[in-house]
Chain A
Amino acid sequence: MSTDTMIQEKPCYSYGFEPSTANKTGDWRFLTPEKSSRLSPCRQDCLLDGEIPLWMEAVKQEKWEEAWQIVSRYNPFPAITGYVCYHPCTSNCNRGQLDQDIAIEEVEKAIGEWRLNNIKAVQRPIKYKGKIGIVGSGPAGLSCAYYLNAAGYSVTVYEKTSLIGGMLTLGIPEYRLPRYVLNRELYMLEESGIHFIKDCPIGDKKDLCELYEEYDNIFLATGAWKPRRAYIPGEEDRRVYNALDFLSAINSGGQLEISDPVVVIGGGNAAIDSARSALRLKGVNHVSLVYRRSRAEMPANQEEVEAAEREGVELIFNALPREVEKEEQDIIGLMFDYCKTDLNGLSIDRSRSFSKSCGTVVMALGQQADLSVFCEFGRDVPFFAGGDLITGPSTVPEAIKAGRIAAYGIVADLEGLPVPQVMLPEQPVVSFEDLNLATKLNIKMQHKECTPELEASRCLGCGTCNACGTCYIFCPDMAIDVINGRFELNLDYCKGCGICVKECPAQALVLEGGR
């Protein structure tokens, strides 16, 4: 008998020839692993609710286009926010407890710049007949315009000045946001078919009621530009600027009458921006920043305060301006009173007043929204509004978020859809202790050289499946399927041992009772 016939004939012993997949071991299970929906600390802290671990993963794999698509779901201007956002996302980064926080803003910036360099702006087709008018071309207005334009609506943006960008262009100094980034971002928006009408202040040239007639829906995002006054003698002098006028003059290349030294009054971000901008002006050698409360009570971002101090801005605390001292036509100094916060609020000690010599004063005492334009009507006309106009002075990312939420609301209103869930639902946040760092399969320690890809590869992906493959590697039952690059549980065979849940480095799985 030859070997071939031996094999072909049915053997007389029992043998296995069918894959054991016929045996559905899933019915042994009494605990079931499930993908969990827990928040990462970065997403919890993100002012834009961005899906940070997800785009970090895309960057790690050098899938830039995918990364841009994920980012743009919550943030259409990653290049801008990469520069100007104070990145609260990094403050509670779990990676920080291992070695160092991840520079999330740098990766975000890289995604934004990749997009500006690699994706050409195309005229978006208008798919729906709704027309939307947006008042104000600041971050909130632009973000709303972006989303509505992308969804296929005709969008027109009205701008009071001759420059698009609102606070981005006029308020934020160039050292914080390079103008080539901003201009390319604005160019992309113009190219994609959003209609901009400049030099058209609402109220003067165009009435809101007219807008309401012309458009199916309007979004008001005029911001907060009305400065607060100090009500001190001498404040009307032309060399006493308010911070926003001061910054917009610098940013739009206008003329300023400056004489050294400069004193900035205030403790917010506008004050810091003014002080740092003043320091960069020709002929200015000394800049002091005076704040009425203590350093710990400053509302400004601490990183910015430290940067200002490094650059040589003199910081003075617990001083309240009393009077602008003048000699003939020139300002010669500012009189301050000592003051401090106690249980009664701010208490002023007139006996401990001092004078500071100065040539120019910048008042950064905060701004308010100017509602006078909308006072006459508005009761009868429904509209959407957002950004600084509603919240008072806040940050660029918060304005962008307001624009996005407004865009969703407008679409729901136009199409008669239910208002979508735009806020992040309350969920437990993944803490450092929750992470399984023993699974060192995908954890790389600090890199010496730094590229966005390497930085992103340090992300632990808290609470988010970043397709690291740990569950696949450790599953004894081959019950993890790989479908289109994602890992899916195959409950036909999962015996519910829970290894995947225990070993998942990111806590993206949870073990539930029952089948």
Chain B
Amino acid sequence: MRIDELKIDSEMLYSGHNACPGCGAALAVRYLTKALGPNLAIVLTASCWSIISGMPPLTALKCPILHCPFPSAGSVGSGVKRGLNAAGHDDTTVVVLAGDGGTFDIGLQAMSGAAQRNEDYIFVCYDNEAYMNTGMQTSSATPFGARTATAPYPLFKAGQKKDIMQIMAAHGIPYAATATVAFPDDMESKLKKAQAIKGFRFIHILSPCPPGWGTESSDTIHLSRLAVSTGFFPLYEIENGVTWKMTHYQGEKKTPLKEYLSAQRRFKQMDRQRMEMLQHEVDHEWDCLMEKVATSPSE
């Protein structure tokens, strides 16, 4: 890679933000703003990023950020986009940035409404799989078997992770995609693609959280890569709710899920039986995804 290919001038994240060392969310937003900027407005619901973006008078991003209450991200995004349109700023990209809590649980109804109205903005969910900012409480994005503050040892998260992509696909929105921080090129191309489409667009980014997941801060990228290679978090996109496409397909040979789980302390108490259950579940989801990709109508 050459230095001019790094597009250093289009970075929009400042140093000195308040993310923990090795934060996946900080990286995700860095790639996001770099890909979509500079004409960008961000609506931010309560999440880690509310803290990362800095306390006034400091700000961590070169674009405006509007903080909004937890359940209202979907609606505030709609309002901001319509307001900008009314003021003649049609070309400004509006991004609603929410954590998994603000997407999967608390923000779901507002987001669902906006998706149903096909509001013209990009909803980005950076998913660190629990309410990390408030102390690692279980969310509906927490995977099966994980230990959290609300499910301490010997308890564990009993239910499955909510399949948000299926929900969004069912809304029939023009574009939905998954991405993760270990594959910045893939994320950039998806964001650029989303930016060119009009209507409600949804990007689901897996962003590892070292303190919440119980990992070394240096393992962020490694884990993000493992999540993809194990099939735990496949990278794909959905167009108009019907056309499913893999964007990073490493073939049928998947890394065993054990490798991904054993690297994280939140899965430390997981016994073999539960691990096999989760592996089975991941394999099943993978097969379903492959079937959807195979049976997708071509353009």
Chain A interface (Cβ < 8 Å from any Cβ of B): 3, 14-25, 28-29, 61, 438-439, 441-442, 467-470, 472-474, 476-479, 482, 485, 490, 492-493, 495-499, 501-503, 511
Contacts and interface: CB of A to CB of B under 8 A. Distances in A.
Nearest to A487: B3
Nearest to A495: B21
Given A496-B21, A498-B218, A482 B59 contact: no
A438 B226 CA distance: 10
Nearest to A501: B218
Contacts of A495: 20-22, 217
Contacts of A490: 15
For the complex of A and B, the 3 pairs showing the least CB-CB separation, nearest first, are A16-B59, A498-B218, A497-B22
Contacts, number: 132
Contacts of B22: 476, 495, 497-499
Contact of B13 (A17, A18, A478, A492): A478
A16 B15 contact: no
B139 interface: no
Given A477-B17, A492-B15, A497 B59 contact: no
A71 to B, nearest CB: 21
A338 B271 CA distance: 70
B54 A20 contact: yes
Contacts of B2: 61
B285 to A, nearest CB: 23
A438 B224 CA distance: 12
A56 to B, nearest CB: 15
A411 B65 CA distance: 63
A16 B58 contact: yes
Contacts of A498: 21-22, 216-218
Nearest to A60: B2
Contact of A21 (B16, B19, B57): B16
B225 to A, nearest CB: 6
B87 interface: yes
B3 A485 contact: yes
Interface in B174-228: 181, 184-185, 210, 216-222, 225
Contacts of A472: 6, 8
B88 to A, nearest CB: 11
B76 to A, nearest CB: 14
B11 interface: yes
Contacts of A439: 221
A482 B7 CA distance: 11
B171 interface: no
Interface stretch (B23-31, B100-108, B150-158, B233-241): B23-31
Contacts of B17: 20, 23, 25, 477
A17 B53 CA distance: 11
Interface of B: 1-3, 5-6, 8, 11, 13-24, 26-27, 30, 53-60, 62, 65, 87, 181, 184-185, 210, 216-222, 225
A221 B235 CA distance: 64
The secondary-structure label for the interface of chain A is loop
A442 B5 CA distance: 12
B26 A442 contact: no
Contacts of B18: 20, 23, 25
A502 B14 contact: no
B132 to A, nearest CB: 15
A18 to B, nearest CB: 5
Given A14-B57, A502-B218, 6 more contacts: A20-B60, A23-B17, A442-B1, A476-B26, A502-B219, A503-B221
A439 B221 CA distance: 9
Contacts of A28: 21
Given A16-B58, A438-B225, A473 B6 contact: yes
Among B14, B56, B62, B225, which residue has the most Cβ atoms of chain A within 10 A?
Answer: B14
A441 B2 CA distance: 11
Given A18-B59, A503-B221, A23 B30 contact: no
Contact of A25 (B1, B15, B27): B15
B184 A3 contact: no
A23 B54 contact: yes
Among A490, A496, A497, A498, residue most surrounded by chain B Cβ atoms (within 10 Å)? A497
A271 B113 CA distance: 86
B87 A20 contact: no
8 contacts: A18-B58, A19-B60, A441-B185, A477-B17, A497-B22, A497-B210, A499-B22, A503-B221
A430 B12 CA distance: 36
A15 B64 CA distance: 10
Given A441-B1, A478-B11, A25 B218 contact: no
